[in-house]
Amino acid sequence: MLKDDILRLLREDEEFRYAVIGLLGLQRLEEAMARLIDTQANMESRLRNVEEAVAKLSEDILTKLVENVTRLADNIIKLADRVAMLVDTMSSIESRLIKVEEAIIRLADIQVRQEDRLVKVEDRLVRTEEALMELKNIVVKQEERLARVVSVDKLTAIIGTIGRRLSKDMEKMILKIYRDQLIQLGIDPDNAKRFRYIDREGKYGRKGKEYEFDIVISNNHIDVLKAKMYTEKDDVEWFYENVEVIKELFDKPLRRKVIVTVHIDEDALIKTDELGINVIYGNVVKD
């Protein structure tokens, strides 16, 4: 048999035995090489897997890092915007506070000026009362003197004349008392003149009606003044209607109607506002 022959040759033929041994060794070497190659290929495959995993992991980490940095940048931008808005808001608040402070200072100045004006008005009222007392004393003395020397008819005529004269003197005195306020309106009472017109033909109303006012003439216009000790609503309406009726008689355009009075009742003051009449007064009399 072939197997017996091979065994015999291995025992008897030394050269054959070495050839077989060499052949077997080469085969084992080839098998070892093949196993080594397989092992290397396996290692390379695993290395590639590891490299891919590392690359994927690095890519994920880098992506997450970029996302985190992007979010951080967005948050920083938003924070910067909020800080800018806060700065603008603080600037606006500071500006408003400055305006409030300025308003408070102006109000304080106005209050001081009002107090000064009240003091001046009180002084004028005192002077007015003193002047009225003097006028009253003069009238009483005149009446006493006239009662001793003239008849009733003459006395009535004289008293009427004195009354008109005293009325004019009183009007001048009132204009003088409130001179500062008139100057503030651009009206100098020292330049006031008497305007008197008698409607003999009844062109503007009842025949023989007399229209009499104080006027201040400037270069371009005329201001009409009415000075009274006490002014009521009827006085305001009378003044307005009578000035409006005859204003075409003035040489220059009518600028303002001005009532100057020591006392004025509340209804009369409201009426002056409705009719657009300027009013300078010392005291408001309420119902």
Q: Quote the pLDDT of residue 93.
A: 73
What crossing angle do the helices spanning 2-12 and 14-149 adopt, rounded to 10°? Answer: 100
CATH fold for the domain made of 150-285: Trna Endonuclease; Chain: A, domain 1 (3.40.1350)
pLDDT tens, 72-120? Answer: 777 778 777 776 776 677 677 777 768 766 766 776 677 667 767 666 6
Q: How many other β-carbons are positioned within 10 Å of the β-carbon of residue 219?
A: 5
Q: Quote the pLDDT of residue 132.
A: 67
pLDDT tens, 38-77? Answer: 777 777 778 788 777 767 777 777 687 777 768 777 777 8
Cα-based distances in Å from 76 to 69, 87, 89, 137, 195 = 10, 16, 20, 90, 82
H or E element: which one contains 283? Answer: strand 278-285
Q: Quote the pLDDT of residue 154.
A: 47
pTM: 0.46
Residue-range domain boundaries for the chain:
74-132, 150-285
Q: Quote the pLDDT of residue 139.
A: 63
Q: Quote the pLDDT of residue 150.
A: 47
pLDDT tens, 115-168? Answer: 676 666 667 666 766 766 766 676 666 666 655 554 444 444 444 444 445 556
pLDDT tens, 217-275? Answer: 888 899 999 998 899 999 999 999 999 999 999 989 999 999 999 999 999 999 999 99
